[in-house]
Amino acid sequence: MATARGRLQIMNPNFLSLVVALSLLLVISSAKVFFEERFDDGWESRWVKSDWKKDENMAGEWNYTSGKWNGDPDDKGIQTSEDYRFYAISAEFPEFSNKDKTLVFQFSVKHEQKLDCGGGYMKLLSGEVDQKKFGGDTPYSIMFGPDICGYSTKKVHAILTYNETNHLIKKEVPCETDQLSHVYTFILRPDATYSILIDNVEKQTGSLYSDWDILPPKKIKDPEAKKPEDWDDKEYIPDPEDKKPEGYDDIPKEIPDPDAKKPEDWDDEEDGEWTAPTIPNPEYKGPWKPKKIKNPNYKGKWKAPMIDNPDFKDDPDLYVFPNLKYVGIELWQVKSGTLFDNVLVADDPEYAKKLVEETWGKQKDAEKAAFDEAEKKREEEESKNDPADSDAEDGEDDSDDAEGDDADDDAKSESKEETEDVHAHDEL
Ligand SMILES: *[C@@H]1O[C@H](CO)[C@@H](O)[C@H](O)[C@H]1NC(C)=O
Ligand SMILES: *[C@@H]1O[C@H](CO)[C@@H](O)[C@H](O)[C@H]1NC(C)=O
């Protein structure tokens, strides 16, 4: 009876959609959201702009905007708006520990300025932070997100602070470099595994144990181990069966040149007996060597056996940040125009994924179309402003690229020293 009823119900499409809706509700309602900021009205009451670098006049202003191109003009975020400036802003949430929980840290970022050097990352901070003084020296727990500088740095940072030391991820994770919005997601699980996603696509995954040098390695090569005396690591040996052909050593290295002729005017009595000059003997093959064969006793290259590292002390709480309490943006920007939106700190990757679909996922096509439109306008303006350039129409793309590169180079050389300083301290 029960099975018959069950089957009937499952075949009912209304019931099916109800099941789907209910299970989605379950996923959503079981998610714990510690912080979510879509930058709607009132965002300024939740965020504290730091006074950091203000007295040096180096603190940049944030612009509350959806940017020059977007998928929805009413969906605003915060964007850096002044070049060569430091930016620091943070928001507080009820303190929590990610012990026994999955931690999801996610946000979207758009570099409208064709970023050539600057960060697009965010931080999670712990404990008590004076938000008015939040800056580059404020200790953080996690720093995550894209960082671009010149041609060499185009990566996603994932820095974890353990025992007051910042540890950079050892794996290279390339970041997006275009002028459109992208969502960066960092997932840290209680089994000490992690994943890094861009636009809901996993770009890197692994373990805290292997992809950071937070703890010493679990296994090391046995330093006491020695290669056994009788370990045969010669892959090839001389063939013991091979014998030197008879008469091999009688072949001379050089022979008289058979083409040489005694000169007409050679006088044996005055010049001595004529001998032909010698040439290398084409028959001569050098000293005899037996041919090589595979060594039947070859054991392979010797490797020290791996043993448990005596310096390794496991920390089952390696992934735990017990006092997470703030999310912050702290950046140096050579060229401004980086726009942050949809910040999330939660415990549920499914919830985070759905948020990406509902925000970025719904807007990305319109944003791309708006960007293409803006680019077209810009190119038209440029050729209008420069009518003397007869190449403008034929070679629009080439001339644009060239201009862009020049601008990039200028910005880079002017700011190189300062930028390197900032990057150096970030990675300490
Ligand atoms: C803020 O952004 C909008 C859209 O890009 C722009 O029109 C405006 O000039 C910006 N304001 C400042 C102060 O930068
Ligand atoms: C933490 O750092 C201190 C000082 O550098 C060191 O003595 C201690 O062993 C470290 N602890 C762990 C668990 O790494």
3-state SS, one letter per residue, for 169-191: CCCCCECCCCCCEEEEEEEECCC
Counting from 1 in the atom list of ligand 1, the atom nearest the Cα of 81 is 14
Tokens found for residue 155:
């990566």
Q: Whose CA is nearest to atom 14 of ligand 1?
A: 81
pTM of the model: 0.72
34 phi/psi in degrees, rounded to 5: -85, -35
Q: Residue 387: which pLDDT band, with cuts at 50, 70 and 90?
A: low
Taking residues 388-392, what's their average pLDDT? 50
Binding positions for an alpha-D-glucoside are 121, 123, 140, 147, 330
Q: How many CB atoms lie within 10 A of CB 386?
A: 12
The first and second tokens of residue 60, run together, are 């940049």
Asked whether 114 and 404 are in contact (CB, 8 A), the reply is: yes
Pocket of ligand 1 (CB under 6 A): 63, 65, 67-68, 81
Question: Where along the chain do its domains lie?
Answer: 23-216+317-383+395-420
pLDDT of residue 412: 39
Q: In Å, how far are 296, 300, 303, 304 from 228, measured between CA atoms?
A: 18, 13, 11, 11
Q: What percent of the chain has pLDDT over 90?
A: 71
What does the mean pLDDT of the chain come to? 86
Q: What is the pLDDT of residue 428?
A: 38
pLDDT tens-digit series, residues 252-262: 999 999 898 88
Give the model's confidence band at 400: pLDDT under 50 very low, under 70 low, under 90 confident, else very high.
very low
Q: Which of left, alpha, beta for 186 (phi over 0: left; psi -120 to 50: alpha)?
A: beta
- Lowest mean pLDDT of 210-214, 265-269, 280-284, name the range: 265-269
Annotation: CATH topology of 23-216+317-383+395-420: Jelly Rolls (2.60.120)
Does pLDDT of 392 surpass 60?
no
Instruction: Return the minimum-mean-pLDDT range out of 94-98, 357-361, 402-406.
Output: 402-406
At 206, list the tokens.
Answer: 């692994």
Give the range among 26-35, 59-68, 203-212, 336-345 with minimum mean pLDDT.
Answer: 26-35
Alpha-carbon Rg for the chain in angstroms: 35
Q: So what's the pLDDT on residue 112?
A: 96
pLDDT band at 152 (very low <50, low <70, confident <90, very high): confident
Question: Would the pLDDT of 363 be above 70?
Answer: yes
What pLDDT does 398 receive? Answer: 42
- Binding positions: 121, 123, 140, 147, 330
Q: What pLDDT score does 265 carry?
A: 87
Distance 165 CA to ligand 2 centre (A): 9
Q: What is the number of the ligand closest to the CA of 216? A: 2
Q: Tell whether the model's pLDDT for residue 188 goes beyond 90.
A: yes
Predicted confidence (pLDDT) at residue 406 exceeds the cutoff of 80: no
Average pLDDT over every residue of 28-36: 85
Neighbours of 351 (CB within 10 A): 21
pLDDT at 367 over 70: yes
User: Considering only CA atoms, which residue is closest to atom 10 of ligand 1?
Assistant: 63
